[in-house]
Structure 1
Amino acid sequence: MTTAVHTHTSLRDHVGAPLDRPVTLAVVGAGARGAAYAELAAQWPERVRVVAVAEPRDAVREPFASRHGVPGENAVADWRELTARGRIADAVLIATLDADHLAPTAAFAEQGYDILLEKPIAPGEAESVAIGEAAARTGAMVAVCHVMRYTHYTRKVKELLPEIGEVVSVEHLEPIGAYHFAHSFVRGNWRRTDESSCTLLAKSCHDIDWLGHVIGRPVVRASSFGGLFHFRPENRPALATDRCLDCPLQDSCAYSATTLYRDGLRHGGTKRYFTRVMTAGTLTEEAVTEALAEGSYGRCVYACDNDAVDHQVVNLEYEGGATASFTMTAFTPLENRHTKIFGTRGQLTGDGRHIRVYDFRTERTTVVDTSLDGSSAAEGHAGGDENLIRSFVDALHQGRPELIRSGIGESVDSHRVVFAAEHARRTGTVVTL
């Protein structure tokens, strides 16, 4: 017979014993991802309740606290103010900028919190390993937001894989999308590797992790090529100005900030997500115009301080001889990832929603529709965001650690593959793991 738990507790202390109250959750970093995850959690008030937030921007923190009913004393600018009070929740969601993950994760782990950590774990291998070590030392359950593991599409791919025999090779494409790349990796927070992390880690650690999850074997060797091809000063059109707002080319340029953010404001859709980010959530003509005139998101893409690579290929060899080729590129529509998996008895092709299985013997193709489209963050990663939060909350509320599919140990391992691939790109070598 199981018993209820009544105080702040960790998952490891009540495995198999459901809580008789909602899980209490603190949020560190209430930007786009932190706010989105908290909003999903708000769907299940009987299972989880946001009780604290640490966010340095008043204009972001105050509406967040109001939305989730966070008491004033628990709505603070710095996460250290929360840790200074001792443990005030069961779990914490850490969604700060990439470079700011290690310190809060280690501090909250020491206080016994279970942790949901936005990807990437950290910008460098040493910090990523250190977070893994902090989890092992304290016994904290640390789950990483590798949302692709949690989609119905991924579960179905793994279910269907045996039908094509043994996996021999994989071809995988991440089409980042031209305006998404311009927003995040030319004008935005991930434009510089010294301020965030390399593009492969920031954008595609999902994909490297997903490939390992699907193939089910460790990587033994990696090579990579790529660079910053287009978003460079020498490619700037002759008439272009430093800001799109007063540029004579703003209505014809493929990367016009005025077009992107005003479309998002006026017409909604996926572009509204990016408009909301650039205005810190204020969706008005005045806020958009002010951000275009003064903020980083109003700059010409050829006049930014960016160095993030806009295209990269990665080749991986797995234990046992299977291989994978991965392409990450900015120069696409914003659409689902595309994958072909080549097996000894057939081929599986997927586009993030539809899965086609071709059988060599019968020469027939079976099509499965997983029913959810839209694999970008703006679209909830084809249900991955919601399933991640549901799994994390249910694991803690029901005492079921098996619901966590992206634990810190395996996530550190897949991050190490990313770091190896990036080292291979920078040095022109083949890296053995």
Structure 2
Amino acid sequence: MSKRIKVAIAGLGSRGKDVYAPTAKLFPDKMEIVAIADIDPVKVSEVAKEYSVPESGCFSSAEKLLAQDKLADVMFITTQDQQHVKHALPALKKGYDILLEKPISPDLDECRECVRVANECRKKIVVCHVLRYTPYYTKLKEVIGSAVIGDIVSIMAIENVGYWHQAHSFVRGNWRNSDTTSPMILQKCCHDFDLLLWLSQKTCASVSSFGNTYYFKKENAPEGAALRCLNGCEVKEQCPFDAEKIYITNEDTGVAKGKTGWPVDVVASHPTVESVTEAIKTGPYGRCVYMCDNNVVDHQIVNMNMTDGSTISLTMAAFNTTGSRYQKFMGTKGEIVADLSENTIKVTPFGKKTEVIDVSKLATDFSGHAGGDSRMVEEFIDMIAKGTEPEGNMTSIEHSMESHYCAIAAEKSRLANGAVIDLETLRQL
């Protein structure tokens, strides 16, 4: 039997506390949480109690945790985007292997330094490209790999962010401003770039991109809008971005409808109608979406020229009813339409009937990023326990860098009005 892996978690936000920590209950024979850190003492106290973390393993910041001698086998780093590398470097030097929340960093020099130190310390970093581990994309990878549609010539991909998700995370929330976090195309879509490169087994040569903050800005505020949704807004009833609708009355996300997980548990640690109402009266998630300090884009297109002459287009947009992903793979012998919202993969070889693969019949657990969250953690823990290298769905940090080159190049292109950016120039900087 493999040894039980000791885990330290730096950052008890939505991912650290509500997604990765609970895997200790799913796999109690494989892992245990022995150290935690967060700037919120209430979160530290609650997580410590829930997972029996001793007081000696509780810290008021990632920095204080990292100042100690090595306390665990691995560290889950789930702090904010611009903190990732600052926390990863000392963790590597302390001897931790790392599960690192994406993105690595919005700064390419920091990304490269992280790779260099990991190799120097001979430690592993796995970046949380969680969609690789889902039953859906694992099956899609298998189908594409069978060459049933021949060589892939072109891919059309769409990242549907969802209107309320955009409002929650990228207008009102932690990822609203690239000055303090990451560009939208990196933060949200490094998932997509990683998937597209992994599924196609291709390398990107150059990109061009366009996009902007089209809608969520002050000049688009309707007459009668207030600074806060619950502060005399005269257009509240007609506004789909109204915080009360999203967090309290919405059938899929509202606490009054029995929904107490993400996103309402970000708005209030212990969501009730009363606690969420109070939070949107006074906190960031109750602000008018037209009057926030956001600057990340709400739509962007990226054209990718691959080294073999094939092409990929990626569209990211906020203006969708639900958040999901769609890809169409066009090959020399047929096509595949992959619609995550339907959980179907439609395979049509030229001149033959379409085969519809219902992925819902291939697994029983689709919670947490379509079933990817817990599978990713389990595969990471198993890899560390066995002392093996990343393989299969798992990505090394060097492979993760390719998705970051694509995203950072796309942002450079967008800011340069669509100029073509050669990725080799980024790789060699």
Number of the residue aligned with 1:6: none
The DSSP-based 3-state class of the residue aligned with 2:189 is helix
Query: Which residues in structure 2 correspond to 1:263-274 (within 5 Å)?
Result: 263=249, 264-269=254-259, 272-274=261-263
Write the distance in 2 (CA, Å) between the matches of 1:268 and 1:427.
46
> 1:210-256 CA deviation, whole Å, 9 max, x = no partner?
11111112100100001000001011011111000122322221100
Q: Distance in 1 between matches of 2:381 and 2:65?
A: 21
2:349 aligned with 1:359: yes
Give CA deviations for 1:85-108 in whole Å, capped at 9, x if unaligned: 211100000000001111110001
Q: Does residue 379 of structure 2 align to residue 391 of structure 1?
A: yes
Task: Give me the whole-angstrom Cα distance separating, in 1, the residues matched to 2:130 and 2:175.
Answer: 19
Cα shift at 1:174: 0.5
Aligned residues: 409
- Report the CA distance between 1:369 and its aligned residue: 1.3
Amino acid of the structure 2 residue aligned with 1:360:
F
Counterpart position of 1:407: 396
Which residue of structure 2 aligns with residue 95 of structure 1?
78
Instruction: Tell me the distance in 2 between the aligned counterparts of 1:412 and 1:41.
Output: 29
For residues 56 and 156 of structure 1, what CA distance do their matches in structure 2 show? 40
Q: What TM-score, normalized to structure 1?
A: 0.91
Question: Hey, what does 2:308 align to over in structure 1?
Answer: 320
Work out whether residues 34 and 54 of structure 2, in 8 Å CA contact, stay in contact via their aligned partners in 1. Answer: yes
User: Quick one: distance in 1 between partners of 2:111 and 2:282?
Assistant: 35
Q: Given the alignment of the two structures, is residue 183 of structure 1 paired with residue 173 of structure 2, yes or no? A: no
Q: Judge which range, 257-266 or 294-303, deviates more.
A: 257-266
Give me the whole-angstrom Cα distance separating, in 2, the residues matched to 1:178 and 1:63: 32
1:372–1:382 contact (8 Å) kept in structure 2 = no
Residue 148 (structure 1) aligns with: 131
Matches within 5 A, 1:210-229: 210-229=195-214
1:32 aligns with 2:22: no
Cα distance, 1:335 vs. partner? 3.4
Give per-residue Cα distances to partners, 1:303-343, cap 9 Å, x unaligned.
10111100000000111111000000000022320110000
How many angstroms apart in 2 are the aligned matches of 1:372 and 1:213? 24
Tell me, what secondary structure is at the counterpart of 1:158? helix
Q: Report if aligned partners of 1:395, 1:403 keep a CA contact under 8 Å in 2.
A: no
Distance 1:195 1:82 in 2: 23
- Structure 1 runs (4+) greater than 3 angstroms displaced: none
Letter of the structure 1 residue corresponding to residue 237 of structure 2? D
| Equivalence for 2:281 | 293
Judge which range, 61-70 or 395-404, deviates more. 395-404
State how far apart, in whole Å, the 2-side matches of 1:178 and 1:272 are: 18
TM-score, normalising length from structure 2?
0.92
Does residue 340 (structure 1) correspond to residue 312 (structure 2)? The answer is no
- CA drift of 1:62 comes to 1.2
Answering whether residue 38 of structure 2 is matched by residue 55 of structure 1, we say yes
Identity rate, percent:
38
**Contact 1:261/1:272 (<8 A) preserved:** no
Quote the residue 1:257 is aligned against: 243
Alignment match, 1:371: 360
Tell me, in whole angstroms, the C-alpha distance in 1 between the residues paired with 2:99 and 2:202.
25
Secondary structure at 1:337 match in 2: strand
Tell whether the 8 Å contact from 2:133 to 2:376 is kept in structure 1 after alignment: yes
Q: Does 1:422 align with 2:408?
A: no
Distance 1:296 1:248, change over 3 A: same
1:82 paired with 2:70, answer no
Matched, 1:174 2:167: no
Deviations 1:97-153 (A, max 9, x none): 001111110001011111000001112211111111111111110000001111121
Q: Give the drift of 1:286.
A: 2.8
Superposed displacement of residue 272, structure 1: 4.1
Amino acid at match of 2:399: E
Measured in 1, the distance between the counterparts of 2:299 and 2:257 equals 29
Q: Is the 2:207–2:409 contact (alpha carbons within 8 Å) kept by the matching residues of 1?
A: yes
Local SS of the residue matching 1:286:
helix
Residue 372 of structure 1: CA displacement?
A: 7.5
Q: Does structure 1 retain, via aligned residues, the 8 Å contact 2:133–2:393?
A: no
Question: What secondary structure, in the 3-state scheme, does the structure 2 residue paired with 1:200 have?
Answer: helix
Moved more, 292-301 or 80-89: 80-89
Residue 120 (1) aligns with residue 100 (2)? no
In structure 2, list runs of 5 or more residues that go unmatched.
424-429
Amino acid at match of 2:357: V
From 105, 114, 123, the counterpart of 1:131? 114
